[in-house]
Structure 1
Amino acid sequence: MVVAVALAAVILISCAGESGYYIVGTSEQQQELRELFRILDRNGDDDSARVILLEHIAGHLLEAGYPERMRVFLTSHVETYPEDPYNAYYLLLVARNYNSDRMAQHYYQRILANYSDLSIRGNSVHYSALSELLRLTEQPAVRIRYYHDLLERFRDRIDVGSTYYYMARTYEELGEWDEAFAAYRRFLSYPETRILGFPEAHRHVRDRVNFYDSSRDWTMESLDTLVNTLKSAIWRQDVRTLLRHKADENFFAMSWEQEEYDSNSQIAFNLGSFLLRSRVRYAADLELNSNAREAYLRTWGWSHRIRTWYLYFRRVDFPADPEIHGNWEWAGIYFGEAM
């Protein structure tokens, strides 16, 4: 496709003169373009002057409403003058002004594969190309390569913590769990990083990493079996069984008004002592708002200022371990009557 566009441009240029194809727009714009081409004819051998002139011509073509001619102008120059040290920059301008993501990706990839990096006004052409490729590329395996390139080559230009976070997410897409959690651990070493739209990212990731590192042996395949086991432990005041089936990681105990990531929601307390000092009862059935993802069991009679507790169960969403993915865990307690 690129070759076809360039060939069409050559045919048009040969019919209209070397620069006539690019003299477009209003009469004032045409006059400015003619003057730029005259200056280019006189100063075309000077690399530093030429890059400024080509940039201005490309900008005028865009302003006149001819992005396709701008692209032909720059790609034709690159093909005609393959030794021009600024060719990577010209192709960057072409890629940025394509309304086709596929063609833009083609030029960004071409820049990285075929041209040395250069700095334009303090901005790296390769860094710009990598950043755009990450935005445009859908294949996770390819994005991983770009993340590694950014970390290896442009660590001083990026938010390293954020890069590790999104790299971890991408490894998850690939099902490469060890690599994903290794990247998540690196993300946690950058507490100053903020993930846009996810203010609790560090807390969430820390919980997931802790879960990944845990034994995960408290889950059960059947919700009914788990609930009946806890009912039996409560009835017999069997603290050992009760605690053995409590989630070892990320277990919460809070009021209905609190959020799970509230700083006070995971404070440890002696659950066994409350059980032994109480005569706890429980509902025969789960609450009506229980569903395929989460469930609630009402209990009452606890020796606590709030005597009604709802035991909260949730299905484990953890594809990193297929043996427990989809199991159930006793994940927390809500204090007080349901709202």
Structure 2
Amino acid sequence: MKIKLKSFVILCFFLTAAFLCFSCTPPEKDETLAQLRLLLNDEKLTPQTRYAVINRIANSLYTSKKTGGMVLFLTDWVEKNPDDIYNAYWLLMVASSYLESGAEPVAEYYFNRILKNYPDLLVQGKSVHFLCLQHLIQISSSSANKISYFNQLINRFPSLVSITEMYVRLAMEYEKEGEYKEALKSYSLFLKQPDSSTIQIPGIPDAYSNARKMVDFSNSTKDWTFESLNALETAVKRAIRQYDWRSLDKYRSKVNFFAMSWKSSETDANALENFSMRGFMVGQRIRYNEKLDESSNPNEAYLRTTGWSPYMPVWYLYFRKVNFPVDPEIHGRWEWAGIYYGEKL
């Protein structure tokens, strides 16, 4: 249940509070706080008036740099008045105070406590639960918790967030938790959003291309992969020696295969190529180096070859280990993923 505050009453109260705050000397301010505390004992106060009194006390303590006193006052009030409909807001003030002081684990505890134990509340038109989730996304170090927060934002506040961005960030947290099937689902939902190919997400520059690669690879046969780098290298070299362009076409990755210069990027529009090796082998004198390039490593390898074209004779065939933990039988195998034109830079 969401509760809206009576803005006119609040406005009048804050104007009076501001006047008192600037006009009172410290002793008078303390006397005012004491009077306000006494006023809280009046059982005839309406919930809105009681809210105004509590808020006045809390803000007065805060502006007097007595944040410890504010926290104690509000937590004590919540403990003794579990039926107060504004308890979510009081604890939000507590959490925000801890967040401001750098005590993020304590702030996280209170933000979570609000979400789990108190109904949502609209304060000045803003959802307390939404504010909690926004803060938790920023300060939480647990991917499992972030998964819950992102799902809540998507399901409860779709009009207040970018659903497209939420799906990407959710997928990344699933990956960190090793929940690869769920990550794949989230990436698929991301790609279905109308702005997935154009959205700019801070900290995730290649969101669309990475999601596209993963989803396309998942939907493919993956029958071009090899058990080991040695098996892939041996097969490719044999096909080159025999000028067997059909086998080379078979060995190439059927998803996200690229052919580009060293200065280009896999995300460039002209980097993804779909051509047959036949046009580059017939009538040519193709050669390859006996050993893989020295820059090769346990996850990537380069085979230097020559003779493909009078205009661009040198090609480096790029092999890489498949990173697809969603399928243990495919994860860790090797694929011929692309071609780099020209000598290495």
TM-score (norm 2): 0.83
Shift of 1:62: 2.6
Shift of 1:233: 0.5
* Residue 49 (str. 1) matches residue 49 (str. 2): yes
- Superposed CA deviations along residues 80-115 of structure 1, whole A, max 9, x for unmatched, are 333322111001111111243333233223222322
Measure, in 2, the Cα distance between the counterparts of 1:80 and 1:262: 62
Match of 1:31 among 28, 52, 63: 28
Corresponding residue of 1:97: 97
* Residue 176 (str. 1) matches residue 173 (str. 2): no
Corresponding residue of 1:134: 137
- Superposed CA deviations along residues 63-83 of structure 1, whole A, max 9, x for unmatched, are 333222110011112223333
**Does the CA contact (< 8 Å) of 1:105 and 1:133 recur in 2?**
yes
Corresponding residue of 1:24: none
Report the count of equivalent residues: 313
Shift of 1:35: 2.5
Are residues 46 and 305 of structure 1, via their aligned partners in 2, closer, same or farther at CA, if it must alter by over 3 Å?
same
* Residue 223 (str. 1) matches residue 229 (str. 2): yes
Mapping 1:8-87, distance limit 5 Å? 28-29=25-26, 31-39=28-36, 41-42=38-39, 45-87=45-87
Shift of 1:262: 1.4
Are residues 29 and 162 of structure 1, via their aligned partners in 2, closer, same or farther at CA, if it must alter by over 3 Å?
farther
Corresponding residue of 2:162: 159
Corresponding residue of 2:125: 122
Corresponding residue of 1:287: 293
Are residues 157 and 29 of structure 1, via their aligned partners in 2, closer, same or farther at CA, if it must alter by over 3 Å?
farther
Query: RMSD of aligned C-alpha atoms?
Result: 2.2
Corresponding residue of 1:253: 259
Measure, in 2, the Cα distance between the counterparts of 1:33 and 1:253: 75
Identity of aligned residues (%): 40
Measure, in 1, the Cα distance between the counterparts of 2:156 and 2:30: 38
Structure 2 unaligned regions, length at least 5: 1-23
Paired residue type of 1:274: F
- Superposed CA deviations along residues 236-286 of structure 1, whole A, max 9, x for unmatched, are 111121111111111110011111211211132332221224221111111
Report 1 or 2 for greater relative contact order, CA contacts < 8 Å, sequence distance ≥ 6: 2
**Does the CA contact (< 8 Å) of 2:257 and 2:273 recur in 1?**
no
Shift of 1:304: 5.0
**Does the CA contact (< 8 Å) of 1:274 and 1:304 recur in 2?**
no
Are residues 271 and 59 of structure 1, via their aligned partners in 2, closer, same or farther at CA, if it must alter by over 3 Å?
farther
SS in 2 for 1:167: helix
**Does the CA contact (< 8 Å) of 1:40 and 1:50 recur in 2?**
no
* Residue 329 (str. 1) matches residue 332 (str. 2): no
- Superposed CA deviations along residues 285-315 of structure 1, whole A, max 9, x for unmatched, are 1112112221111111113521111111112
Relative to structure 2, which stretch is displaced further, 144-153 or 221-230?
144-153
Corresponding residue of 2:276: 270
Corresponding residue of 1:198: 204
Corresponding residue of 1:106: 109
Shift of 1:36: 4.6
Paired residue type of 1:31: E
Corresponding residue of 1:189: 192
**Does the CA contact (< 8 Å) of 1:287 and 1:295 recur in 2?**
yes
- Superposed CA deviations along residues 159-192 of structure 1, whole A, max 9, x for unmatched, are 1111111211222223222221111111112325
Measure, in 1, the Cα distance between the counterparts of 2:66 and 2:258: 60
Measure, in 2, the Cα distance between the counterparts of 1:69 and 1:114: 24
Corresponding residue of 2:242: 236
Paired residue type of 1:245: Y
Measure, in 2, the Cα distance between the counterparts of 1:264 and 1:96: 49
Shift of 1:335: 0.6
Relative to structure 2, which stretch is displaced further, 42-51 or 319-328?
42-51
**Does the CA contact (< 8 Å) of 1:33 and 1:57 recur in 2?**
no
Paired residue type of 2:31: R
Relative to structure 2, which stretch is displaced further, 41-50 or 282-291?
41-50
**Does the CA contact (< 8 Å) of 2:246 and 2:277 recur in 1?**
no
**Does the CA contact (< 8 Å) of 1:278 and 1:302 recur in 2?**
yes
SS in 2 for 1:184: helix
Are residues 202 and 29 of structure 1, via their aligned partners in 2, closer, same or farther at CA, if it must alter by over 3 Å?
farther
Shift of 1:30: 5.1
Paired residue type of 1:74: L
Shift of 1:38: 2.8
Relative to structure 2, which stretch is displaced further, 199-208 or 78-87?
78-87
